[in-house]
Structures are given as C-alpha cells and as structure tokens.
Amino acid sequence: MDQEVIDLCGRICPYPVVEIIREVERLRSGETLRCVIDDPLALKSVPEELADFPDVTLTITEHDAAWEIIVSRE
C-alpha cells in the first residue's frame, strides 16, 4: 500500500507542528503518517508536542537539508 507523504518544507513553525498534530489525531491504531520538514524549530517542537500522545511512536531521519518524520499509532 502506498503511503502519502505530507511535504511541509518551506513552512515555518508553528505551521508544521499544527499540521502534524492534526493528522496524528486522525490516525487510527496501526496507521502511519510520513511528513517531511525543513524547519529546525519544528524538528525540536514536533517530538515535544507528540509526547502528549502515549500511543504514538516517532522516527526522525535526516535527508540532506530536510527531515522525514514517521509517526505510527499503536
């Protein structure tokens, strides 16, 4: 199954954080969300905000001047 990637490059905080939180709230158990960001402040803020979701795991991978964030809901 193809997975949509939400490209938030060029967007500055708080927009990426708000968008990711909104999408995470829609995730059902077993679903995964992939996002790409390039704002270093969002890179710090996203994990902090997702800490409020105890059933969510987060993986961050750096790709050149951007980061891919993969969020999975248990």
Confidence of residue 4 (pLDDT cuts 50, 70, 90): confident
Give, in words, the CATH class of 5-73: alpha beta
Predicted local confidence at residue 51, as pLDDT:
96
Q: Is the pLDDT of residue 74 over 90?
A: yes
| Tens-place pLDDT, residues 7-54 | 999 999 999 999 999 999 999 999 999 999 999 999 999 999 999 999
CA–CA dist 7, 41 (Å, integer): 16
Confidence of residue 66 (pLDDT cuts 50, 70, 90): very high
What ranges do the domains of the chain cover?
5-73
CA–CA dist 17, 28 (Å, integer): 19
Which of left, alpha, beta for 10 (phi over 0: left; psi -120 to 50: alpha)? left
